[in-house]
Amino acid sequence: MTTELLDAALVEEATKKSGLIWVRGAQGVERALWHVWHEGAALVVGDGPGEQPLPGLADGGAATVTVRSKDKGGRIVGWRATVVEVAAGTQAWDAAVAELKGKRLNAADGEEMPARWARECRIVRLEPDLGAGLPAASEGDLAAPPVPTPATTRDAVPAGLPRLLGRRRRP
């Protein structure tokens, strides 16, 4: 029983302090998701316009969560989760929205965001399933190729630019 309590405390503290968690649903790729820890579970919102995708996170399904350090980026802990979708209009929904709303950065619609979430998005609770203990640490670096995206990076700096910027004007 003591080991389970220590595992639960590790999962909660690491997840609370992490800005992102890496989640893999029953199928699909592992995704970095912003979240909020609330009442013993990680809450995520997504699957709507302008929100993060939640691939493979079906109600009642299973997921694997990996928590990384904010400052070093290394893996702190991995845990199994049960996926529970929060129904819009319930007390649980209102409590989840209150927590998530304060942590949502760069929302274009501000006060209209909860209504948009109710119409177009899903809120999912990732509840830790620690009955079998924490999964063993994986061997290797766990690196995965990036998800395909139409986004691009800027072009290389022109060769003459550092020389132009390095010139000093004489007084």
pLDDT tens readout for residues 60-81: 898 989 998 888 778 888 889 9
pLDDT at 96: 92
**Position 164 pLDDT exceeds 90:** no
Q: What is the pLDDT of residue 8?
A: 86
83 phi/psi in degrees, rounded to 5: -90, 125
Domains defined along the chain, listed by start: 2-166 (2.30.110.10)
Residue 163 has what pLDDT? 77
How many angstroms separate the Cα of 73 from the Cα of each of 13, 64, 87? 16, 18, 33
pLDDT, tens digit, 9 for 90 and up, residues 136-146 = 666 566 666 77
As to burial, measured by CB atoms within 10 angstroms (0-12 exposed, 13-18 middle, 19+ buried), residue 96 is: buried
Residue matched to tokens 């996926």: 83
- Per-residue 3-state assignment (H helix, E strand, C coil) for 61-106: CEEEEEEECCCCCCEEEEEEEEEEEECCCCHHHHHHHHHHHHHCCC
Q: What contacts 61, CB < 8 A, 6 or more positions away?
A: 25, 26, 82, 83
DSSP string, 21-40: EEEE-SSS--EEEE-EEETT
